[in-house]
Structure 1
Amino acid sequence: MPDTAARTGGLCMPCKLGTRAEIEAAKVAMKRLCELEDTDPFRLYWLELVNKVYKSDAGIAGLSNVERQYWAVNCLSGEVHNGGFDQYFYNSSGSTYSDAVDGLKAMGATTSLLLLEKAKKMIFGLADVPGETGIRRRIQVAVDSDALQRRLDQLDKKFWGDAGNLATRIENFAISHGLVRADR
């Protein structure tokens, strides 16, 4: 896009923002996921949860407390790695904020939890995160600024830097609660 090129000195946005490496790493991870689609127990369990949430009348309410925590932390991780904390709160995943907080606590993922809470406070202040997507979006649009985006971008990068630790904690949580058998 000519306008973007003019603003970024000819660089694409990922290069300008310094996120090119994360994007390339995500591509490699997605390729690995595709290769493991039919054999990885964590991927198979995730697909089971997706079916429970999206193909049943109960939806997310039909999940147990532990399943909701696992679901919410995975949604958080996916959204932040894809588009940052602002994307997490903007999309429907933001409605799982409380379960994500509980899940991160249960997993002992204190770094990720602190970053999530900081992002929440930057956007919503001391108020609770609204469950309704439309309300969250209106609040985000109202508080959006370049300064806020820069601060959120810094939190995103810190979250990405702890990705391996969080992924291990998510897997250990699933195993320890009997959601996934590693030998399955």
Structure 2
Amino acid sequence: MHSLIDDILQSSRARGPGAGEAWPVEERRDLVASARAARGRGMIPIIAEIKPKALGRALSQEEVAAYARAYAQYGACALSVLTEPTHFLGRLENARTARQGGLPVLRKDFIFSEEQLSEVQADLVLLIAALDIDLEGFVDRARSLGMEPLVEAHSEEELERALETEAKIIGINNRNLKTLEIDLGTF
């Protein structure tokens, strides 16, 4: 891994997992159904991102709620919410607040421990194959908590690992987490 990614993981491990949250089944939202609904309205399904680092500062909960409402109003089918606090200035509360927009929420973080999966209510969770986690176990655990895992792969080997799981959604990251270089040919 690139030293920046190692730093992020070290910070995450030092922070440790937060307390788990109970989540009523009736509150879960389906990305695929939301994407189909967007297509039915003649729109291209977009997962819009709430990424505080892009602004260079943490967002207030009022700002997170405003982004979530605006993205929903302008046709996004889901929200990707960064929750990693040290390097991306995210917070678990951002995922909770973003749910007010009414769209499925993808928790985007560096998940390396199964305990992290229950820290916050999310409809989807990013699982990064490059982190060399027990991908199949994490996919199963995420599902048992009511989340759909989005497994991210960068290399053919990572893609093969993802395809060996029961993951229904696989994302391709054009950024190599070892060098941080972007190659659009990866996709």
TM-score bin (small chain): under 0.3
Identify the structure with the greater helix proportion.
1
Normalised by the length of structure 1, the TM-score is 0.27
**Structure exhibiting the larger radius of gyration computed from Cα positions:** 1
Normalised by the length of structure 2, the TM-score is 0.27
